Structure 1
Amino acid sequence: MRLTLKSIQNPVAVLIVSVLLMLMGALSLSNMPAQLLPDIEKPVLTVMTSWPGASPAETEAELTVPIEEVLTGTPGMTEMQAWSMADFAFMQLEFAIETDMSMALIDVISRLNRLRPLPANAEKPQIMMGEWGDANDVLIEYFIQQLPDSQYSKAENGRYLREVVLPELQSLYGVSRIEFDTGTWGSGDQLRIVFDIYKAADLGIDIARIPEKIGRSGNISSGVVDVGRKQFTLRFEGRYDIDELASLIIEWRDGRPIKLSDLATIEVGPGEANGFIYQNGNSSFRLGIQKTNDANVLQALEGVKNKLDELNRETFAERGLFAQYSFDPSRYIHRAMSLLGGNLVLGIILAITVLWLFLRQWRATLLIALAIPISLLTTFIVLKITGRTLNVISLAGLAFASGMVLDAAIVVLENIVRLEESGEDKTNACDKGATQVWGALLASTATTVAIFIPIMFLEDAEGQMFADLAMTIAIGVSISLVVAVTILPTAARYFMTQLPDREHRIEKSVWRNLADKI
């Protein structure tokens, strides 16, 4: 075969290419994002909205039902589930596997823009790709404890965390967004109006109608006014500070205005707590830090932990706060990687040992074993180019492939040895040794790859989970075929100066005797 002959005639070029492939593979391995499992993209969108103080029945009637009405009939949607809870509602939209999720997102946003006005203090619906609370997107969870000796209120510390700390954390590498939870809707500052029902009864004022009057003081358009040739748009600004709100006229009695301050006390402060978060006996805030899809999880975790350790030493210590993670995902990742990496190395050692037991010559054994590092390291180059991550699934694929990549090399070397023993000179034996078995090796490799290729194109969650396994094995076996017909014949031509002792290697070996008995 021309490729084999050219390789044998240019040993320096083959050596340089081999070294470059291994160096590039090692570099790709060191730069690959590492995580526990592969990223799984589900055709799911989540719509979330909140309405502080609302009951489950109210969130269903005022939030869930209107949103369901506008989203019904979204192209490609196969299922819609909705949950209505106190203060909160969210919908999960599941689409067909082949749906373009970018277009689905645009369609959902367009439909939500047609939504009728929600209650005044309800938040606008937020859209998130994927399932709500998907554990695969979680980088790490922290609890920030408020220590008993803190000189700041929880509301003040909550405002500090939201306005100062969260922007700093969101700017770190690998952080996409942060879920900040105080444990209660009422822990932030709220405007509180406490009515005196006895005064209202004496004046004959219906307290139930007062919120409506206050609500009508919002910003409204007041039309236009023509001044000469110019036309101006009028807008009534109905926002008040606390003093102005206290002077709001509610009713008139006997020609005298009844102000809001005559009936109620108005103040700004922390609202009534309706929930709690505790860690180690201390009231706490929760930070749910989400990762970006292309992030190196270990690198991102290190950056987040270093930042929060720095805050613990500095500003958190001054404010009576202490940040502590609930668990460290990097420990599980390192443990899984170490376990699989150890098994991979053990598998390679066992494969080489078995080769030596058959060949009984270290030089021939090492020539065949050369296919393992070249094939596996080159596989990392392809995985890096295709945007894959280093995870337990891809490492499992490498462990499977570590033995399979030797098959072609064993066949080629055995044929080279056979030809040399039959009297062929070394160059012709190395060339013909690969050429004669090329067709059979190609068919064998193609059938192996054909088994795994369909898995790589499955779009459901299971297909995405095991795509790394299939791709790793297919790439490793394919590269091993190229190594067997180029690098191995070249190495055999110049480094296998002595043929394996066939008498000692086969006829006198326990393996030959065992094979004869079988």
Structure 2
Amino acid sequence: IRMVRNNLLLGMALAIGVLWWFLRKFRATLIVALSIPLCLFAAFLVMNAAGRTLNIISLAGLAFATGMVLDAAIVVLENIFRQREAGRSGNDASERGTVQVWGALLASTATTIAIFMPVVFLKDEAGQLFSDLAITISAAVAASLLVAVTVLPCAAANWIKGEAIEDIHREWWRWTTNHIMKWTDTARKRWTWIAVLTVAPFVLVMLLKPAADYLPEGKQNWISGFMIAPPGLGVETSKRELMGVIDKRLEKHMNGEHPLQLDNYYMGSSPGFGTFIGGKASDPDQVEELIGVFNSEILTGIPDTLGFASRAPLFGGIRGGRQINLDLQADSFESLLTAGRAGFFKVMEVLPGSNVRPLPGLELAEPELRLVPDDRRIAEVGWNRSRMATIVRALGDGAFLGEYFDGNRRYNVVMRAEQWFTPEELASVPVATPSGEIQTIGELAQLVRTAGPTQIRRVDRKRTLTLAITPPAELAIEEALDIVREQVLPDVYAALPQDGTIKLRGTAEALDEALKSMSGSFGLAIVILYLLISALFRSFKDSLLVIMTIPMATVGGIISLRLVDLALTANGGQQMDLLTMIGFVILLGLVVNNAILLVYRARDAEREGMSRRDAVESAVRLRLRPILMSTMTSIFGMLPLMLIPGSGSELYRGMAAVIVGGMLVSTLFTLVLLPSLLRMNEERKMVMVPSTRTA
């Protein structure tokens, strides 16, 4: 919480610093900066009314909103400044400057808020986690529009009355506008830009798209270990021969003799589960080193055991964290064991560094007594296998016969035979047959002593052996799944009988569901944007022009994510998990704002009588400064979330990288793509005016 709060404050300082660099006026900067506390206060009120708490996610939402809430204020103040530069009075400039951009601001704010609807209604874990973020940003952005059209014009009219209005960057804006118009001056240039900036993003996305992951592992200060014990090892023996040895090995990590120290640790053992161990590192930065010590020293060297340790997952309770469950199913459990062993060793070979836990174990270790019915003898006494099965249940836990209602409550009626203690006693239990004879169980069935699994596991009512695979942190779940499908499953299928099946569950199943959900949310977000902009512009064509800027933002987000992943390779990298994918949905609502400003201004200028070329040039010249100001304040406001490491940063770092990279790339190329789109068929709009010269 403290780190996110510091990132929030640093983001505010950076955003205000960027604002001052553009304006170079203390009062004007202060007026715009006033939006931040007002909007954040409004977000707090909405969170309180919605019953939400202040946590890492909601604080990250406030940090994301820091730069975003300045957008509307920047556009309004910049237009007021432009009116003042034209010589209007303070009150007149404030009123006219606000009215001129009101429509564009309403459209951009509505799209930003509407884009969160798919996120809020996501039913999976990512939607539940980030509903706080959606509510926080939506409330802050909605408040920013109200502040920009009410508080800011009043403050501008009264606080900067006598202040000299001069844009020191005017020449730079003019130079940039001239070059943009020059780059799009001919139909050939325009069509080239349109082709490159619409086709290239799709190609780059296909080439650069990272493999998908489920949820971040997190940087918890906990180590979790597990040991597969020898078959049939009891709890007391496990305490003495396993836990006792591990306890002695951990002494030096508790008394200060070893540089890698633990604050505390725990151990436990359970029949059919194995021995488990966990510990808390004294220094959070030494967790990875301690995991290496656990795997190379603490959990090794004990005969007939296999141990492994890893960092405890942050979302361990959600579908097993990053766990892929390979469910092997067949009628013959012996065949399952053979296939399970083949799969176990193949996974260890092709996925080095992964943890594999068989459920149940790969050995038949528990004593088991089987009753094999003698069908001929059963038929001779007038019974069948079904009746014999009922008798056997009565000899065990009991056979359910029905219910008895005494007028007040219902009771289960269970038939249970006299308790027996040895197989010989079971074989000599007498039963009365329909023919009136007395037969023993041993005469009707053969008792076979054998060994069986430590537990009977069924999935969908089928006998199942599960290989629970936890891939290394640096390997995305999607990549691990591809390796399992291509290299592990063929060997397992070869060892299974004809009736055998394999199903991928756990995180594998959850990831497939989540990717479908996110794809639907992304598509729904684009549809919402298109329809909303069409309604606000009253033009399907203009809204299509705005939507065409989205692919460039997607490419920017992926490139930024790749760079962050490369920079963090030593620390496990940055995967494209579900939380990062939500960043692409949020990005949609942000990148269209600049396009809305340009299209809205260009159409206004055309309605005022300007030619197509002059209207586009006017839109670029008048909106270039607010576009760059709002983009840079938003980017710098989010930079701390992307660049500063710390506990919990893995939750929002990928999202910040996507939004920062997407906004930067989209802004740069939108300034070329949109003028090219707006100037299409420009030559047809030109009207030749006949000469009026006289001789």
TM > 0.5: yes
State the Cα deviation string for residues 436-464 of structure 1 (Å, max 9, x = none).
33332223223333443333356566431
State the alpha-carbon separation in 2 of the partners of residues 479 and 359 from structure 1.
Answer: 25
| Superimposed CA distance per residue, residues 74-105 of structure 1 (whole angstroms, 9 cap, x where no aligned partner) | 65756432113258544323347861545445
1:436-451 correspondence to structure 2 within 5 Å: 436-451=622-637
> TM-score, with normalisation over the residues of structure 1?
0.63
1:399 pairs with 2:574 = no
The equivalent of 2:84 in structure 1 is: none
Q: Which amino acid aligns with 1:486?
A: V
How far does residue 185 in structure 1 lie from its aligned partner after superposition? 6.8
Q: Give the letter for the 2:310 counterpart.
A: M
Name the SS for the 2:496 alignment partner: helix
Residue 409 (1) aligns with residue 595 (2) = yes
Structure 2 segments unaligned to the other structure (5+ residues): 1-172, 367-448, 566-573, 686-695
Give the Å deviation of 1:27: 1.0
> 1:279 and 2:463 equivalent?
no
| CA distance in 2: counterparts of 1:34 and 1:140, whole angstroms | 17
Please report how far the alpha carbon of residue 125 of structure 1 lies from its aligned counterpart in structure 2 after TM superposition.
Answer: 6.4
- Structure 1 residue aligned with 2:181: 8
Assess if the C-alpha contact under 8 Å between 1:36 and 1:392 holds in 2: yes
296-305 vs 408-417, which deviates more?
296-305
Residues 46, 130 of structure 1: 8 Å contact kept: yes
> Which one of the candidate residues 559, 567, 574 is aligned to 1:381?
559
**1:316: which partner in 2?**
496
Q: Give the AA of the match of 1:138.
A: Q
Query: In 2 relative to 1, CA 68–407 (structure 1 residues): closer, same or farther, beyond 3 Å?
Result: same
Within-5 A mapping of 1:101-112: 101-105=287-291, 112=297
After superposition, the C-alpha distances for 1:179-235 in whole angstroms (9 at most, x for unaligned) are 2355387639xxxxxxxxxxxxxxxxxxxxxxxxxxxxxxxxxxxxxxxxxxxxxxx
Number of residue pairs matched by the alignment? 405
Letter in 2 for 1:9: K
Residue identity opposite 1:317 in structure 2: P
Pick aligned residue for 2:656 from 458, 470, 481: 470
Once the two structures are superposed, what CA deviation does each residue of 1:392-411 show, in whole Å capped at 9, x if it has no partner? 32332222221221111121
- Greater fraction of residues in strand: 1
3-state SS of the aligned residue for 2:280? strand
Alpha-carbon distance in 2 for matches of 1:423, 1:405: 29
The one-letter amino acid paired with 1:341 is: S
Matches of 1:284 and 1:483 in 2, distance apart? 55
Q: 1:325 to 1:490 in 2, by over 3 A?
A: closer
Q: What whole-Å deviation, never above 9, does each CA across 1:335-355 have from its counterpart, x for those lacking one? A: 322233223222222322232
- State the one-letter code of the partner of 2:624: W
Alpha carbons 1:416, 1:433 under 8 Å: kept: yes
User: In the alignment, is the contact (CA less than 8 A) between 2:354 and 2:472 conserved in 1?
Assistant: yes
Asked whether the equivalents of residues 323 and 507 of structure 2 are also in contact (C-alpha less than 8 Å), the reply is no
How is 1:220-259 mapped onto 2 (pairs within 5 angstroms)? none
1:124 & 1:346 partners in 2: Cα distance? 48
1:137 aligned residue: 322
**What is residue 291 of structure 1 aligned with on the other side?**
471
Q: Does 1:83 align with 2:267?
A: yes
SS at match of 1:439: helix
Aligned to 1:180: 358
2:201 paired with 1:22: yes
Contact 1:412-1:434 at 8 Å conserved across structures: yes
- The residue matched to 1:99 in structure 2 has which SS? helix
Change in 2 beyond 3 A, CA 1:369/1:158 = closer
Pick which of 272-281 and 482-491 moved more.
272-281
The 3 A distance-change label for structure 1 pair 297 and 61 is closer
Q: Is the 8 A contact 1:140 1:288 kept in 2?
A: yes
Q: Which runs of 5+ in 1 are unaligned?
A: 149-153, 189-269, 500-518
Aligned letter for 2:247?
A: V
* Secondary structure class of the residue paired with 1:37: coil
Q: Distance in 2 between matches of 1:82 and 1:472?
A: 40
Displacement of 1:300: 4.1
Structure 1 residue 283, shift from structure 2 partner: 6.6
Question: How far apart, in 2, do the equivalents of 1:282 and 1:368 lie?
Answer: 53
Q: Per-residue deviation at 1:275?
A: 2.3
How many angstroms apart in 2 are the aligned matches of 1:106 and 1:170? 17
Q: Separation in 2 of the partners of 1:103 and 1:458?
A: 22
Is the contact made by 2:322 and 2:477 (CA closer than 8 Å) also made in structure 1?
Answer: no
The equivalent of 1:71 in structure 2 is: 253
Which residue is 1:128 aligned to? 310
Whole-Å Cα distance in 1 between the matches of residues 644 and 348 of structure 2? 34
The answer to whether 1:147 aligns with 2:332 is yes
Hey, what's the Cα distance between the residues in 2 that align with 1:108 and 1:450? 41
Hey, what does 2:90 align to over in structure 1? none
- Counterpart amino acid of residue 14 in structure 1: W
Distance of aligned partners of 1:129 and 1:146 in 2 relative to their CA distance in 1, 3 Å threshold: farther
Partner residue in 2 for 1:333: 511
Q: Report the RMSD for the aligned CA atoms in angstroms.
A: 4.4
CA contact (8 A) 1:416 1:430 kept: yes
Q: What is the DSSP-based 3-state SS (H/G/I as helix, E as strand, rest coil) of the residue aligned with 1:494? A: coil
Distance in 1, matches of 2:677 and 2:249, equals: 69
CA contact (8 A) 1:35 1:296 kept: yes
Q: Is the 8 A contact 1:308 1:323 kept in 2?
A: no
Alpha-carbon separation, structure 2, partners of 1:133 and 1:141: 20
Classify 1:332/1:322 alpha carbon distance in 2 versus 1 (closer, same or farther; 3 Å): same
- Take 1:50 and 1:169, find their aligned partners in 2: how far apart are those partners? 16
Counterpart of 2:183 in structure 1: which amino acid? Answer: N
Contact 1:25 1:379 (C-alpha < 8 Å) held by counterparts: no
CA 1:60–1:26 in structure 2 vs 1: closer, same or farther (change >3 Å)?
A: closer
**1:356–1:274 CA distance, 2 compared to 1 (3 A):** closer
> 2:640 matched to 1:454?
yes
Return the match for 1:489 from 670, 675, 693. 675
TM-score by length of 2: 0.49
User: 1:317, CA displacement in angstroms?
Assistant: 1.7
8 A Cα contact 1:316 1:322, kept in partner: yes
Distance 1:121 1:86, change over 3 A: farther
Compute the displacement of 1:33 (Å). 0.9
Distance 1:180 1:486, change over 3 A: same
Distance in 1, Cα, partners of 2:269 & 2:548 = 62
| Distance across 1 between alignment mates of 2:177 and 2:633 | 23
1:18, distance to aligned residue in structure 2 (A): 0.9
Q: State the distance in 2 between where 1:61 and 1:17 align.
A: 64
- Whether the aligned pair in 2 keeps the contact of 1:142 and 1:326 (CA below 8 Å) is yes
How many angstroms apart in 1 are the aligned matches of 2:343 and 2:517? 37
Distance 1:50 1:166 in 2: 13
Counterparts of 1:69 and 1:36 in 2: how far apart (Å)? 37
Distance 1:389 1:106, change over 3 A: closer
Given that 1:187 and 1:271 are in contact with CA atoms closer than 8 Å, whether structure 2 keeps it comes out as no
Q: Percent identity?
A: 13
SS at match of 2:497: helix
The verdict on how the C-alpha distance between 1:351 and 1:438 changes in structure 2, with shifts beyond 3 A counting, is same
More helix by share: 2
* Paired residue type of 2:181: I
